[in-house]
Structure 1
Amino acid sequence: DQTEEGEKGMAIIGIATIVLILVLLLIIFRSPVIALLPVITIGAISSTVSGLIAMAAKAFDLDIDTSISAILLVVLFGVGTDYILFLMFRYRERLRAGDDPKTAMINAVARVGEAITSAAAAVIIAFMALTLSSLGMFRAMGPALAIAVAVALLAGLTLVPAIVSLLGTKVFWPSKAWQVEPRGARFGAIGAAMGRRPGVFAVASGGVLVALGVFAVGFNPTFDLSSGSTSDASESVVFTTELLKGMPAGATQPSDVLLHSPGGPLSEDQLTTYRTALTQVEGVGQVGQAQLSPDRTIADFQVTLADAPESDAALDTVAGPLRTVAHQAAPAGATAAVGGMTAVFVDFKDAMNHDYAIVFPVAAILIMLVLALLLRSLVAPWYLMASVFLGFAATLGATVLVFQQIQGENGLIFTLPVIMYLFVVALGTDYNILMVARLREEAREGHTPREAAALAVRHTGPTVAAAGLILAGTFASMMLAGNSTLSQMGFAISVGIAIAAFVMALFFTPAVTALLGRRAWWPGHGGDSDADAKSRWAEHSYAESYYTPPTEHSRW
């Protein structure tokens, strides 16, 4: 039943993702050519991605789970579209500056290529860090998604520039809006306001992140992956409903206690005493008669828990008193092991805690190295990663608020923090990298820190907003699948991407960078001194100025 529902959900996600990308790109660029470019390009490379993933799975003995398919689809289309957007916005900017189409593409790749490559490297590193996970499904998911991002990057820096260079300005057909940059655009006004009062923007955006992050404390992981994933009329749901009318809640997934006596056969007295001890465990509903091996050295007791097998109470019973009594009450010379789905969930929970302590810090350190190399700075990576951490907490808090507090659900799927890490931390860093790379570029052009922040928001703000809207929308399409697990994942990731784009990258990062001034780029070159910054900013307001992009030969 879950497989059938999953296939329907995949079809809905695929259609919704493609339609959303087409509609949003039509609105942004008013050109059917650009709207179709990501769909055609990503569709063309999808078979390459699948082939490479299959080769990697065979070479490294990875078990690629079918659940990866839905995530892989939205990652490929979402990330691929983002990289194409980053390139096309800079290409349009170079055309407006007077470059011919081919020169404009050369300069666009030269200017934004480093930022795109660094952003992709951060995502790939974050995904590959999952190979350190103790859970096989994450060890397989990491390389699969990393391959998808790597191929999308190569296509974005080679195939897409080649296609656009051949089409020239026809890529914008039939719109002529690309020829003139609108004056007084809203992002120009936002940038100007930020340049004047970066402290206000930093406190306001940071306050939003902290306020949402407070709710993350209430996160409760749940292992109920079947609830809501199938319709109430499906045979499996009808069976469960009828079964629980006269049986303990744990009857849907009984646990097992295996008793092994290598020294000789188990006597009836030993089996009776042991079964009685298991029956008296708090949280146990029923204990069946022992199923014995022919030589009576192995006995299997089916244990039906009083609570639903995926519930917190059942996990506490297995992790605590049941395993303790099972081990301690075993006859002399015998060993015991508790198994079943609830025991698997208990072990999953321990493995996830291990992964949080290993995978997250390793990924954060490696991403900081990428940022340090890109920005030639030892300061900026620290506050950029701090903002990403705040974004992660805010996303988890928003999801807890909606699903646990407002909708009254017992908890969120246990894999959600790792899934959020994959997309909110990794992909959210993309927007930070794009914005801070433009901040650094404007600083190197001789602008003051506040001017650089104003100009970066003015010119990169539309790119970040458009990319964030499309990527958040593609993940939000998962909420249409009618599956509670995919709904939670889709909501959390889409909200996290929106926070990363519209709070972190658009407001928090440039505001903090403007406040730090040239210290943000230490020990690298950061433009004018703070004194020069105050002097130049006082001379004119960027709310009324019109900025012409640097020439082809200006310093990168």
Structure 2
Amino acid sequence: MEARERPAPPPSAAPPSRTAAQRKWLWGTLAVWVLLVVALGPLAGKLNGEQKNDAVSYLPAGAQSTKVADVLADLPGGSTTDIAVVYHRDGGLTPADRDAADAQARQIAAEFQAVGGQAPPPATAHDGRTAVYSFQLAESAGLRADVVDDVRALTDHHPAGLDVLVGGPGATGADMDEVFGSLDGTLMLVTVLVVTVLLIATYRSPFLWLVPLLCVGVAAAASRGLTYLLVKATGLTVTGQSGGIMTVLVFGAGTDYALLLIARYRDELRRTERPYDAMRIALRGCGPALLASAGTVVAGLTCLLAADMNNMRGLGPVGAVGVVSALVVMTTLLPAALVLLGRRVFWPLIPAYGTQDKPRRSAYARIGVFVARRPAGILVGGGILLGALAFGTLAMPGNLNLADGFTKTPESVSAAKVMAQAFPERGSQPIDVIAPAGRAADAVARAAATEGVADARLGRSADGWTEITVHAKDRPESAGERATVERLRDRLDAVPGAAVGGQTAQRIDQEHANARDRMVVVPLVLAAVLLILVALLRSLVAPLILVSAVALVWGAALGLGALVFEPVFGFAGVDPALPLLTFVFLVALGVDYGIFLMHRMREEVHAGLPAERAVLPALTSTGGVIASAGFVLAATFSVLTVLPLVLLVEVGFVIAVGVLLDTFVVRTFLVTAASLLLGRRVWWPGPLAKPRPGVPAATRPDDRSPMMAG
């Protein structure tokens, strides 16, 4: 616990004109932000209406499955809601069950505009326990989620003991829509709660925690409003996934920036008489590091514009808007509010002018001495530890099927399991094929003759296109059905313009696109982050150390996730997007703490210390606040693990683990050890790498001087 500090000496009189101008500037800053919140607040609420969670939004732009989805949307009735109504009784369907099912099927066909206008004949299992009615319901019948909800309400009335489930791709999509619809509220509530608890624990003040929390709330509202304007201006694809990640990113990054700025401001209040001047010095001291920190995240996210996946490409600008909003708020609104509130905002631990912290030997001072005694061993040992964790990626489970993408089992997934058991010899969901109208007959014949196809039939036709519905013999998203889709595409290559889509084809295209995006985006992110670090640190060696370290952290965090996702969490696989998403965020965010440490080392060198002697004071002075920031960021991203989507749970886990590894292992031990071993060479080829006249030679790394001992 910090000692209570003595009252500050009375401040000297400042020129009235300067004081008045400063207060006018501070109040003006607050007024501008109030006006911006009033203007952007209503727009923030409209962002949910612009989110797209249809299949095309999560598909690669040029894929066959994307083309199929676009063409089907333009056919008569538009995109159909494909559902399968499953009737099942363990003891076998009774005549009353069949009569009720037939009556409901006719009612569904009439009320929800089934393509063809009539109820389809049921597919009945050999054991007589299950019957399935497959419908294609016209888009004009209503929104997908509404239609599925209404069908479920209609089929909820049935004979006792009969199980009725609504499944199929349309129902799966509706269940996904429901999840995304609940993301924003749940995510915002849990994130605010987590950040509030952490800020109270960090500041131990009944008032101070409110200031950064309110500011980050302003940043969240501003980012959502600005994103809405961006979407309206550019047609950018914003999904529920990207909107949720942006919320977490704004709260995590914004709180980190606040922690670092407030810590520096508090130090300056002890050395500087007037809060305005203390804040100006604090901003000048940590501003470049904050700017570089935000710059690395923005640069990394902007590289996602090179991705082929629509949702990934949209996430880049959305996340960048969030980070920029957080940075601007935390370097304008937060400083103005803190200065206007004065020193009393820190009560009961008020930093009085002319006082110092109670001398104490901090944990990071002790860690620094420990690292200084054996830097080579610690560097090698830490590298081996992270490398061993990274080998866990070899145990990565296979790619996740769409039906396994929920942490809880929705009705559509239960329906799929019943159908798979009842019809093991036949796929229960269609493979959508389109062909030019003049070549439709040829396409049907080729599809029907393809190995693994159970049947193929003509569907709707319009605008020169014909829909062909194909059923595979194997269950949905199985290896057998995937092979059938690949064979279909090979055979239909002979039909110009033909394309194969549907749920399994979409998953195949997503996997290929994610593999391609990793090959393109990962090098771009590394190059962009490296360039920013070179510009900030004026060195090549230090940036290479930081980038190599965070890349190793990413591998270790992903490897640890691979070891626990299946045996601990019970997940059936990993989402194909997981490696790229976690890489972008861990590299861009993880390098931040290295930036703060290295930037403080530069300050110590400029203050007169030899490069070798600047490492441990920098670690000691930044250790506590960066540890708090890293813990807050990890806790914020861990909020994603409470959501009902496997992808977001996996992303939250990997990023949270990676941030903790970076904060408490890499920055504290490995970067410190590497900097001690390299000495001034860490700043090569910049001017700090050269011997400086008049600066005393560095002592041994284990020198127990007061500065190094903390």
Residue type of the partner of 1:475? Answer: F
- Corresponding residue of 2:422: 246
Q: How does 1:100-499 map to 2 (within 5 A)?
A: 100-176=274-350, 180-220=357-397, 222-227=399-404, 229=406, 231-232=408-409, 234-248=410-424, 251-260=427-436, 262=438, 266=441, 274-278=446-450, 281=451, 284=452, 286-291=454-459, 298=466, 300-309=468-477, 311=478, 314-319=481-486, 321-327=487-493, 336-404=498-566, 406-407=568-569, 409-499=571-661
Shift of 1:312: 5.3
Residue type of the partner of 2:229? Answer: M
CA spacing shift, 1:252–1:34, aligned 2, 3 Å: farther
Q: Distance in 2 between matches of 1:265 and 1:383?
A: 59
CA spacing shift, 1:74–1:469, aligned 2, 3 Å: same
Q: How does 1:503-518 map to 2 (within 5 A)?
A: 503-518=665-680
- Corresponding residue of 1:535: 699
Shift of 1:474: 0.9
Contact 2:289/2:599, CA 8 A, preserved across alignment: yes
Shift of 1:488: 1.4
CA spacing shift, 1:443–1:118, aligned 2, 3 Å: same
- Corresponding residue of 2:204: 30
Output one character per residue of 1:293-317: Cα deviation in whole Å (capped at 9) or x when no partner: 59999572413251432x5554454
Structure ranking higher in helix proportion: 1
Contact 2:205/2:347, CA 8 A, preserved across alignment: yes
CA spacing shift, 1:472–1:512, aligned 2, 3 Å: same
Residue type of the partner of 2:401? Answer: D
Output one character per residue of 1:162-190: Cα deviation in whole Å (capped at 9) or x when no partner: 11111222221123589625511111111
Shift of 1:405: 5.2
Unaligned stretches of 5+ residues in structure 1: 547-556
Bigger mean CA deviation after superposition, 215-224 or 454-463: 215-224
Q: CA RMSD in A?
A: 2.9
Contact 2:617/2:708, CA 8 A, preserved across alignment: no
Q: Per the alignment, in what secondary structure is the counterpart of residue 237 of structure 2?
A: coil
Shift of 1:416: 0.8
Contact 2:456/2:469, CA 8 A, preserved across alignment: yes
CA spacing shift, 1:510–1:545, aligned 2, 3 Å: closer
Q: TM-score under structure 1 normalisation?
A: 0.87
Q: Per the alignment, in what secondary structure is the counterpart of residue 412 of structure 1?
A: coil
CA spacing shift, 1:528–1:144, aligned 2, 3 Å: same
Indicate yes or no: 2:696 matched with 1:522: no
- Corresponding residue of 1:551: none
Q: Distance in 1 between matches of 2:344 and 2:596?
A: 27
Output one character per residue of 1:357-382: Cα deviation in whole Å (capped at 9) or x when no partner: 21111121111111011011122111
Q: Per the alignment, in what secondary structure is the counterpart of residue 609 of structure 2?
A: coil
Bigger mean CA deviation after superposition, 6-15 or 363-372: 6-15
Q: Per the alignment, in what secondary structure is the counterpart of residue 2 of structure 1?
A: helix
Q: Per the alignment, in what secondary structure is the counterpart of residue 302 of structure 1?
A: strand
CA spacing shift, 1:258–1:60, aligned 2, 3 Å: closer
Residue type of the partner of 2:485? Answer: V
CA spacing shift, 1:306–1:355, aligned 2, 3 Å: same
Residue type of the partner of 2:421? Answer: K
Output one character per residue of 1:28-52: Cα deviation in whole Å (capped at 9) or x when no partner: 2111322112221122233321221
Q: Distance in 1 between matches of 2:281 and 2:339?
A: 12
Q: Distance in 2 between matches of 1:81 and 1:73?
A: 12
Q: Per the alignment, in what secondary structure is the counterpart of residue 34 of structure 1?
A: coil
- Corresponding residue of 2:166: none
Bigger mean CA deviation after superposition, 70-79 or 522-531: 522-531
Q: Distance in 1 between matches of 2:612 and 2:358?
A: 22
CA spacing shift, 1:7–1:57, aligned 2, 3 Å: closer
Q: Distance in 1 between matches of 2:232 and 2:464?
A: 41
Contact 2:430/2:469, CA 8 A, preserved across alignment: no
Output one character per residue of 1:517-542: Cα deviation in whole Å (capped at 9) or x when no partner: 11111122327859965436566435
Shift of 1:228: 5.5
CA spacing shift, 1:294–1:522, aligned 2, 3 Å: closer
Indicate yes or no: 2:189 matched with 1:15: yes
Shift of 1:105: 1.4
Q: Per the alignment, in what secondary structure is the counterpart of residue 566 of structure 2?
A: helix
How many aligned positions are there?
A: 531
Q: Per the alignment, in what secondary structure is the counterpart of residue 500 of structure 2?
A: strand
Q: Distance in 2 between matches of 1:10 and 1:65?
A: 11
Indicate yes or no: 2:239 matched with 1:84: no
Contact 2:682/2:689, CA 8 A, preserved across alignment: no
Q: Distance in 2 between matches of 1:362 and 1:374?
A: 19
CA spacing shift, 1:359–1:296, aligned 2, 3 Å: closer
Q: Distance in 2 between matches of 1:299 and 1:261?
A: 9
Q: Distance in 2 between matches of 1:293 and 1:3?
A: 29
Report 1 or 2 for greater relative contact order, CA contacts < 8 Å, sequence distance ≥ 6.
1
* Identity among equivalent pairs (%): 32
Shift of 1:335: 6.0
Q: Distance in 2 between matches of 1:257 and 1:265?
A: 10
Q: Distance in 1 between matches of 2:408 and 2:515?
A: 32
CA spacing shift, 1:427–1:292, aligned 2, 3 Å: closer
Shift of 1:242: 2.9
CA spacing shift, 1:304–1:440, aligned 2, 3 Å: same
CA spacing shift, 1:196–1:231, aligned 2, 3 Å: closer
Q: Distance in 2 between matches of 1:351 and 1:382?
A: 29
Between Structure 1 and Structure 2, whose CA radius of gyration is higher?
2
